[in-house]
Chains A and B, each alone.
Chain A
Amino acid sequence: MNVVVLVKYVPDPQGTPELDDAFLVVREGTEGALDPGDEYAVEAGLRLVETHGGEVTLLTMGPETASAALRKGLSMGAHAGVHVVDPALRGSDALATARVLAAAVRRRPFDLVLAGVESTDGSTGTVPMTVAQLLELPSATFARALSVEDGVLRIERPTDLGFDVVEAPLPALATVTGSAPEPRYPTLKGIMQAKQKPVERLALADLGLSAEALAPTQRVVGLTRAQERAAGEVIQAGEDTAKRIVDLLAEAKVL
């Protein structure tokens, strides 16, 4: 079975992102990485092909530096990468991103598309569903467990009071949460092998898309810094800690 995983390159998840003059997140020249959330989708894809055979192809849209995200996933064990890179894509919004990803997925046969639930930097949390609708695929979202049997995808989806089991016939799309099995670490061998694995580069023209059709539809027109909540008192735990906390509860009339 052939699995395509949508992986995003994000600025250092630990660092503080910066905005440029046009209020776009600075992606060039910053340390970045494969979105930690997407590693769960890569892991889920690898497990499925380990059980059923086939290949995992990673697909990313992003600047030159985004190839680092592909390299990480390839060193985890994915088989090939596709990198959509085009200057016209800078500042793409959710719809443009989904259109590009859908067009790139369509280029070859696949059984399953996997994605993270939301990106660390954009956190729109809807791009995969838009891709699914553009490809007219059923989608099973927010999976913490996935399996495939007889051409049917089966997932567990957490809910307010427990979880649901959802099934979708393949080909399908699923999004994978951080409650799914932990992503593996790349081995040294994996890192070495990653360098030999094929990565296809595509520009907009290769996808039959025009820059005009993908023009951004959102503009940041203003920015306000939030008022910091004033810090209160910090005390060392000691004799009267419990008394202090319970006094506060009494003051708040919740006791």
Chain B
Amino acid sequence: MPPVFVYAEVTPEGPRPVALELLTKARSLGDPVAAVALGPGATAAAETLGAYGASTVFANDDPVFSETLGHAAALSLAGLVEEHRPGLVLFSTSHDARDVAGRLQALTGSTLMSNATDLSATDRAQMPIFGGAVTVEVALEGPDPKIVLVRPTSFAAEPSGGTATVEPVPVPQGSPWPRRVERHEEAATGPRLEEARVVVSGGRGLQEASNFALLEELAGLLKGAVGASRAVVDAGWVPYSYQIGQTGRTVKPEVYIAVGISGATQHVVGMKGAKRIVAINKDPDAPIFRLADLGVVGDALTVVPQVIAEIRSRRG
């Protein structure tokens, strides 16, 4: 089997969950499996990356990798590809990973497929199209390495019990870089969307940004997380990190509650893996009802407060 690289996104708090998912899959596609971890937290992440299947972790903690929007990372990765000739490099579909993958493609001249949900070989990948109504199997041709971007939560992460050797990566020479010059962050509250057992998600049917407070309250009672459709993210009601769907997050909670969301195909691909789906929408023909286990035709602003009251009264 050809060597496989996983571009493992890391933070000072540890590797991103998707890195471990990709390593788990990579074990069945190639040998050896190496992770490429670049930016602050890279070396510290090596132990976990090894435990999920990387026998080598190419690492460098230099902030140039996290501050230049994939420019430095793509150049380093191209150097590693040249030296080790993997058959496949796996990425997630995150914005940061897309920056690296797009540039790597220009440097290697190889094929790139995005939005994959599975692979059966280093040159065979599957991708849902038309909002998941159809899945196509795609043969990847041309020079190695194939570059495939996989949607997060496509695979369950399972440890291999392995350990990795850490190989240093030089900082590349290059310019002009873009530079991150400011960072504005608010502390996160509640569970991460991908890990929450309940996701309460709102769309344009909530009428106003301030009505998201209702969803925050409901999610809080259920120790869940709040999500949103792209329409309300674009409208600036909630941050992009809330967005669920094709160009946002993919969630697979026990229960997904869609409030005032029409159920466009691009939204549905991000949530149809939920165990149970509840939809509240005032339009009986809303497409979301076609996949809901329980659909309620009604006004969100009436139904949600009733649900909150019912939970409170059952808990006494």
- Interface residues, chain A, with chain B CB atoms under 8 Å away: 16-17, 19, 23, 93-95, 98, 117-118, 123-134, 138-142, 154, 157-169, 172, 177-179, 216-226, 228-229, 231-237, 241-246, 248-249, 251-255
**Is residue B211 within 8 Å, beta carbon to beta carbon, of the partner chain?**
no
**Is residue B176 within 8 Å, beta carbon to beta carbon, of the partner chain?**
yes
Beyond A125-B114, A221-B138, A229-B291, whether A138 also contacts B239 by CB under 8 A is: no
**Is residue B141 within 8 Å, beta carbon to beta carbon, of the partner chain?**
yes
CB distance A130 to B103 under 8 Å?
A: yes
Beyond A93-B111, A132-B103, A255-B314, whether A161 also contacts B254 by CB under 8 A is: no
Beyond A126-B112, A166-B181, whether A220 also contacts B311 by CB under 8 A is: no
Tell me which of A94, A231, A233 contacts B105 (CB under 8 A): A94
- How many angstroms from the CA of A248 to the CA of B241 in the assembled complex? 27
CB distance A164 to B180 under 8 Å?
A: yes
Question: Which residues of chain B are within 8 angstroms of A118 by Cβ–Cβ distance?
Answer: 247
**Is residue B25 within 8 Å, beta carbon to beta carbon, of the partner chain?**
no
Sample of 24 A–B contacts (CB below 8 Å) = A16-B130, A125-B247, A134-B106, A139-B103, A164-B184, A168-B178, A178-B230, A217-B140, A218-B111, A223-B137, A225-B135, A226-B128, A228-B291, A229-B290, A231-B295, A232-B277, A232-B295, A233-B294, A236-B298, A237-B297, A243-B310, A245-B307, A249-B222, A252-B276
- How many angstroms from the CA of A225 to the CA of B276 in the assembled complex? 22
CB distance A226 to B133 under 8 Å?
A: yes
CB distance A133 to B103 under 8 Å?
A: yes
**A-binding segment of B81-89, B91-99, B154-162:** B91-99
19 more contacts with CB within 8 A, not counting A169-B176, A223-B134, are A98-B106, A125-B247, A126-B112, A159-B185, A160-B188, A161-B186, A162-B185, A166-B179, A218-B141, A220-B136, A228-B291, A233-B293, A233-B295, A234-B289, A237-B280, A237-B302, A249-B255, A254-B224, A254-B255
Tell me which of B113, B115, B307 contacts A246 (CB under 8 A): B307
The residue in chain B whose Cβ has the minimal distance to the Cβ of A133 is B106
Question: Which residues of chain A are within 8 angstroms of B178 by Cβ–Cβ distance?
Answer: 138-140, 166-168, 172
Within 168-187 of B, Cβ neighbours of A (below 8 Å) are at 176-187
The 10 lowest CB-CB distance pairs between A and B, nearest first, are A237-B298, A129-B102, A126-B102, A133-B106, A217-B142, A168-B178, A232-B293, A234-B295, A222-B137, A217-B111
Beyond A126-B102, A242-B303, whether A117 also contacts B247 by CB under 8 A is: yes
CB distance B133 to A225 under 8 Å?
A: yes
Nearest Cβ in chain B — how far from A211, in angstroms? 15
Nearest Cβ in chain B — how far from A20, in angstroms? 13
Tell me which of A95, A162, A168 contacts B109 (CB under 8 A): A95
CB distance A229 to B106 under 8 Å?
A: no
Question: Which residues of chain B are within 8 angstroms of A160 by Cβ–Cβ distance?
Answer: 188, 241
**Is residue B213 within 8 Å, beta carbon to beta carbon, of the partner chain?**
no
CB distance A242 to B309 under 8 Å?
A: yes
Question: Which residues of chain B are within 8 angstroms of A252 by Cβ–Cβ distance?
Answer: 254-255, 275-276
- How many angstroms from the CA of A126 to the CA of B113 in the assembled complex? 9
**Is residue B316 within 8 Å, beta carbon to beta carbon, of the partner chain?**
no
CB distance B297 to A167 under 8 Å?
A: no
Nearest Cβ in chain A — how far from B97, in angstroms? 9
Within 61-78 of B, Cβ neighbours of A (below 8 Å) are at 69-71, 74
Instruction: State the total of A-B contacts with C-beta under 8 angstroms.
Output: 262
CB distance B138 to A220 under 8 Å?
A: yes
Tell me which of A124, A133, A162 contacts B107 (CB under 8 A): A133
- How many angstroms from the CA of A19 to the CA of B129 in the assembled complex? 11
The residue in chain B whose Cβ has the minimal distance to the Cβ of A173 is B178
B contact patch SS: mixed
Question: Which residues of chain A are within 8 angstroms of B139 by Cβ–Cβ distance?
Answer: 218-221
**Is residue B296 within 8 Å, beta carbon to beta carbon, of the partner chain?**
yes
Nearest Cβ in chain A — how far from B299, in angstroms? 7
CB distance A255 to B222 under 8 Å?
A: yes
CB distance A223 to B135 under 8 Å?
A: yes
Most chain B CB within a 10 A radius of its CB, from A23, A127, A178, A229: A229
- How many angstroms from the CA of A255 to the CA of B137 in the assembled complex? 40
Question: Which residues of chain A are within 8 angstroms of B136 by Cβ–Cβ distance?
Answer: 23, 220, 222-223
CB distance B255 to A141 under 8 Å?
A: no
CB distance A218 to B138 under 8 Å?
A: yes
Question: Which residues of chain B are within 8 angstroms of A218 by Cβ–Cβ distance?
Answer: 111, 113, 138-141
Question: Which residues of chain A are within 8 angstroms of B103 by Cβ–Cβ distance?
Answer: 129-130, 132-133, 139
CB distance A161 to B276 under 8 Å?
A: no
Question: Which residues of chain A are within 8 angstroms of B95 by Cβ–Cβ distance?
Answer: 141-142, 157
**Is residue B149 within 8 Å, beta carbon to beta carbon, of the partner chain?**
yes
CB distance A126 to B98 under 8 Å?
A: yes
- How many angstroms from the CA of A218 to the CA of B198 in the assembled complex? 38
- How many angstroms from the CA of A246 to the CA of B310 in the assembled complex? 7
- How many angstroms from the CA of A131 to the CA of B139 in the assembled complex? 24
CB distance B114 to A126 under 8 Å?
A: yes
Most chain B CB within a 10 A radius of its CB, from A17, A93, A129, A224: A129
CB distance B240 to A158 under 8 Å?
A: yes
Beyond A123-B114, A222-B136, whether A166 also contacts B180 by CB under 8 A is: yes
- How many angstroms from the CA of A217 to the CA of B142 in the assembled complex? 6
Question: Which residues of chain B are within 8 angstroms of A251 by Cβ–Cβ distance?
Answer: 276
Question: Which residues of chain A are within 8 angstroms of B292 by Cβ–Cβ distance?
Answer: 231-232, 234
